Amino acid sequence: MQISSRFTVALHIFSCVDTFGDEHKVTSDFLASSINTNPVIIRRILGQLKKAGLIEIARGTGGITPTRPLSEITFYDVYKAVDSIEDEKLFHFHENPNPECPVGRNIHNLLNDKLDAIQKAMEDEMRGYTIEDLHKGMESLLAKET
């Protein structure tokens, strides 16, 4: 199991917009150079963030702005915007365990609640972090560099 890199790329985008937005034209090309990926990937993720109502994009000018204060955008919001998981389930269960086997017959019942609890714990933890936390952390790191 692995959450796709779209999540961390989206967080990187928010950090770039926050850090450089007042000084530079933050375009998909600009973001792609910071993230070191293809601008098409950036545009796709920007589209997902916009569709989720987390950012606004000014066409042509490259202006990307969050739609609400950074303290009100959680990691969970970003995760839900860019990482579509099948049937809202983080863990994908193998479809057809052998019903003739005592383990195969019971494995879903054994694990379903546990896996749901693990996913809930992760999502609850994500709700505790905001883009504002990234802002504060980046300020601290940049201050150490100077």
Could you read off the pLDDT of 4-21 as tens digits, one per residue? 789 999 999 999 999 988
Q: Quote the pLDDT of residue 2.
A: 58
Contact status, residue 32 vs residue 9, Cβ threshold 8 Å: no
Q: Where are the domains of the chain?
A: 6-145
Q: Is 75 left (phi over 0), alpha (psi -120 to 50) or beta?
A: alpha
Interval 82-99: pLDDT, tens: 976 766 777 877 788 898
**What per-residue string of b and e applies to 110-125 under the rule 16 or more CB within 10 Å gives b?**
eeeeebeeeeeeeeee
pTM of the model: 0.86
Q: Quote the pLDDT of residue 44.
A: 95
Q: Quote the pLDDT of residue 103.
A: 93
Whether 59 shows a pLDDT value over 70: the answer reads yes
Name the DSSP class of 96.
Answer: -
Whether 1 shows a pLDDT value over 60: the answer reads no
Backbone angles phi, psi at 25, to 5 degrees: -80, 110
**Which two structure tokens, joined as six digits, stand for 98?**
């052998």
Q: Quote the pLDDT of residue 74.
A: 98
- What is the domain class of 6-145 according to CATH? mainly alpha
In this prediction, residue 58 has a pLDDT band, given cuts at 50, 70 and 90, of confident
